[in-house]
Amino acid sequence: MAPQRRAATKAPESNGAAERRNRSSTKKDRSPREVQRLWQRPWLRTAGLGAGLVLTTLLLWSNLGAEDGVTEVLARRGEVVAGRFIEVPCSEDYDSHRRFEGCTPRKCGRGVTDVVITREEAEQIRSIAEKGLSLGGSDGGASILDLHSGALSVGKHFVNLYRYFGDKIQNIFSEEDFQLYREVRQKVQLTIAEAFGISASSLHLTKPTFFSRINSTEARTAHDEYWHAHVDKVTYGSFDYTSLLYLSDYLEDFGGGRFVFMEEGANKTVEPRAGRVSFFTSGSENLHRVEKVHWGTRYAITIAFSCNPDHGIEDPAFP
């Protein structure tokens, strides 16, 4: 009979090893209630919520960027732009209109400047818009005031403020208001002429030239849907050069509402700043739109010029 082998005697486990094994076993065997108690520890909960908030913010920012397609900011609200100009090839839109040598665009592009109109002048011009629009205002998010034609948004319609309010207008506006309006228009006209290398006298103020007030109120009519992409030369045949003078500040007075030049895969955006003048040739080379305003109120004035004297209009006169 073969001798039986004795099993090797197991060495006693040290206290340290037993402790480590017990801790490991405890981690694996924690109940859901114990996990919940851990989560209720303030520092752990705060860290978890913070990480979730950061992730949500990044995803939201990414989605907004993808929706807008904005890849470059042409002018940021926080910077003071002495003069910035980007030349782009002219479209064929001008070929279907009468050409005026020395004025009809052959050099096309877009520019931005913050040194033509002061912020104080912009504030004074904005007060004109506020006084006029206090007489009416659209039921939707976009209200218009045109001092040339007298057009004023009221509810879902337009009225002629000079006829509708008559002599009361003299208690709303002053001769100084209209003088400042003319001076600002002249400065913008000279800026456009210099940028495109044409004579200022060849440019004729054209309609519509108007104040706009935009807020986040839901649109009530097609006139309130300002956010659609469009070409000014197509919408208004008289336009050859378009300009906007911003009268309020992006992210201070309102959110959203940036001006976007639309280009395939490379949109350019202008962030409004009180006193900032954005100008461009009016053809399809400058397809553009305005983002929806999400909060606050955005004020601006559109000042347009034509090369055709037949499309010219006079500066508004104090009634």
Neighbour count for residue 101 (Cβ, 10 Å): 8
Active site residues: 298
User: At a CB cut-off of 8 Å and minimum separation 6, what does 305 contact?
Assistant: 189, 192, 203, 204, 205, 206, 239, 240, 241, 242, 243
Across 114-203, where does the E strand assignment appear?
A: 137-138, 142-145, 151-155, 157-160
- Are 70 and 260 in contact by the 8 Å Cβ rule? The answer is yes
- Are 269 and 86 in contact by the 8 Å Cβ rule? The answer is no
How far, in Å, CA of 57 to CA of 61, rounded? 6
Distances from the Cα of 292 to the Cαs of 136, 215, 228, 256, 289, in angstroms? 22, 8, 9, 6, 9
Which of 129, 289, 102, 310 has its CA nearest to residue 201? 102
**Run of H or E residues at 18:** helix 15-28
